[in-house]
């Protein structure tokens, strides 16, 4: 009987993500600090050697073809790699296991355009990460709040009918809100010209740009490829702006300690 594979910090982060999508930002932060283990096609001269990758070198990692198409399998430890290869019934001497700092590996894989399957066939559960996320994690942009630049675009938004709420987005947002009482209220708006775009407006007290960015990471992942999600904060100190939001429609989330303001006279919807 084989012993259970010890869980490292990244394993724990993957397991936490299975319990709640709100753990996604923490998993990403853990991932970029980790050492990842990959497979390469077996050659006797690759064992116990250090392979130097230079510009123009062939793509070093082996690929698996599954229901997601071609992906690069990776594991959080040598033991996890052995576990995954055993469960996939890979014959001996077909591959050799190699390790690399995650930030460098994500850069290589993302630049080629392959997704990555983390902990393929392991007890922790496996996680599919798309190529664009790999690139953004490698260069740091995925976890860095970005300030708006250029002239703001003005357009009219319409509050979304609760019957049309994107369920995955709303559920993911609730998981974040439950962890962070700084979120007080939230609405989802759309615009007629781009119905596939979602605009998530939140009230935070106190405001927190990093936490807002974490919310955007979680909800954007839930929105999927077919939708673009924008998240922004209302001015929590502008009573008029908050009243206008409530006048547009009931928020899909409202903290129990956050009272509904008195309704102002009818006004046009907010502009982004």
Helix or strand run (H / E) with residue 38: strand 35-41
Q: Quick one: pLDDT at residue 266?
A: 56
The CATH 3.30.460 domain(s) of the chain lie at 158-254
Confidence category of residue 245, pLDDT binned at 50, 70, 90: very high
* Tokens encoding 176: 């974040």
Q: What does the alpha-carbon distance between residue 59 and residue 80 come to, in Å, rounded to a whole number?
A: 23
Range 158-254 classified under CATH 3.40.50: no
pTM: 0.80
Q: Quick one: pLDDT at residue 261?
A: 82
Q: What angle do CA 240, 203, 28 make, to 5 degrees?
A: 155
Q: Quick one: pLDDT at residue 133?
A: 93
**First-to-final CA distance of the chain:** 60
Decide which of 69 and 73 is more confident.
73
Closest CA to 213 of 168, 176, 242: 176
What are the backbone dihedrals phi and psi of residue 101, each rounded to the nearest 5 degrees, phi first? -55, 135
**CATH code of the region 9-143:** 3.40.1350.90
Q: Which of 53-62, 95-104, 107-116, 224-233 has the lowest mean pLDDT?
A: 53-62
Q: What does the alpha-carbon distance between residue 131 and residue 176 come to, in Å, rounded to a whole number?
A: 25
Q: What does the alpha-carbon distance between residue 79 and residue 123 come to, in Å, rounded to a whole number?
A: 12
The CATH 3.40.1350.90 domain(s) of the chain lie at 9-143
User: If you ran DSSP here, which 8-state letter would residue 156 be given?
Assistant: B
Q: Quick one: pLDDT at residue 1?
A: 45
Q: Quick one: pLDDT at residue 102?
A: 95
Helix or strand run (H / E) with residue 110: helix 102-112
Residue 269 has pLDDT above 80, yes or no: no
Confidence category of residue 44, pLDDT binned at 50, 70, 90: low
pLDDT in tens, 122-154: 999 999 999 999 999 999 989 887 655 555 566
Q: Quick one: pLDDT at residue 94?
A: 84
């Amino acid at each position: 009987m084989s012993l259970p594979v010890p869980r490292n910090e990244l394993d724990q982060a993957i397991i936490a993500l299975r319990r709640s999508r709100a753990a996604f930002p923490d998993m990403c932060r853990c991932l970029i600090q980790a050492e990842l283990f990959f497979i390469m096609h077996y050659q006797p001269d690759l064992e116990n050697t250090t392979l130097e990758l230079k510009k123009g070198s062939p793509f070093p990692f082996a690929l698996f073809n599954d229901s997601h198409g071609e992906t690069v399998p990776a594991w959080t430890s040598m033991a996890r790699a052995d576990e995954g290869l055993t469960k996939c019934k890979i014959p001996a001497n077909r591959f050799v296991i190699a390790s690399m700092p995650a930030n460098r590996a994500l850069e290589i894989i993302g630049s080629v355009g392959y997704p990555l399957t983390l902990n393929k066939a392991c007890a922790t559960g496996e996680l599919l990460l798309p190529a664009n996320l790999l690139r953004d994690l490698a260069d740091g942009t995925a976890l860095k709040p970005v300030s708006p630049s250029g002239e703001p675009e003005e357009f009219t938004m319409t509050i979304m009918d609760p019957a049309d709420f994107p369920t995955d987005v709303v559920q993911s947002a609730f998981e974040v809100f439950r962890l962070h009482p700084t979120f007080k209220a939230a609405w989802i708006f759309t615009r007629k010209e781009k119905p596939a775009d979602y605009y998530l407006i939140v009230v935070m007290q106190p405001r927190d740009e990093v936490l807002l960015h974490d919310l955007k990471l979680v909800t954007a992942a839930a929105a999927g490829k077919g939708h673009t999600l924008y998240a922004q904060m209302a001015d929590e100190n502008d009573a008029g702006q908050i009243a206008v939001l409530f006048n547009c429609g009931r928020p899909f989330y409202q903290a129990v300690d956050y009272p509904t303001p008195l309704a102002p006279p009818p006004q046009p919807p907010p502009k982004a």
